[in-house]
Amino acid sequence: MGFTRAELEAYRDRAIPEFMPEHPRLVFVGINPGLWTAATGVPFAHPGNRFYPALVAAGVIPRVPAITERGMLPADVRMIHDAGIGISSLVHRATARADELSRAELTAGAERLAADVARWRPRVVAVVGLTAYRQGFARPKAASGRQPEDVAGAELWVVPNPSGLNAHDTVASLAAAYEGPARAAGVIP
């Protein structure tokens, strides 16, 4: 799978549909779609992203899904949804890097998220990215892990971003961080 830089740039500012089962137990909330995600329609689609390998290492899903230029295979979508996993974004606008987003966009996304969570009714929401959480939720001193407040009745967690740009985390450290919200949601025992 490959795209040229020009092909990817054509997806700038596009949004993708929510990746949500009918009754999610755990919703991961990314910062915003990257250009690979916008091009494929699949959250965390960039080949260097460690999100799906970390979910496998945490025991949340049994295998890394296949992602092609046309999206994710239907069997893999079912696998993730059958696990009770949904995926959304704070900001729906695709960019090459999350630092292209404004604080106002992150704040508006956090406000919108509460309404979305009330509609989805998951047990747990895990925001993927500490800096985006701090800015969007106006919690400048927040730490990763379980947060003291809930969002629309769901437990709120903050976990590390699996992007390859977040080089200090490994698949193993991401898996360890993702286990907490997955256990709290009843996705893994």
Across 48-76, average pLDDT = 95
Rg (CA), the chain: 15
Architecture of the 16-185 domain: 3-Layer(aba) Sandwich (3.40)
H or E segment at 147?
strand 145-151
Across 77-87, average pLDDT = 97
Across 29-54, average pLDDT = 94
When the pLDDT of each residue in the chain is averaged and rounded to a whole number, the result is 94
Residue 165 has pLDDT above 80, yes or no: no
Q: What is the pTM of this model?
A: 0.95
Taking the CB of residue 44, how many other CB atoms lie within 10 A of it?
Answer: 24
Across 158-163, average pLDDT = 92
Of the two residues 164 and 14, the one the predictor is more confident about is 14
Cα–Cα distance for residue pair 124/129, rounded to 1 Å: 16
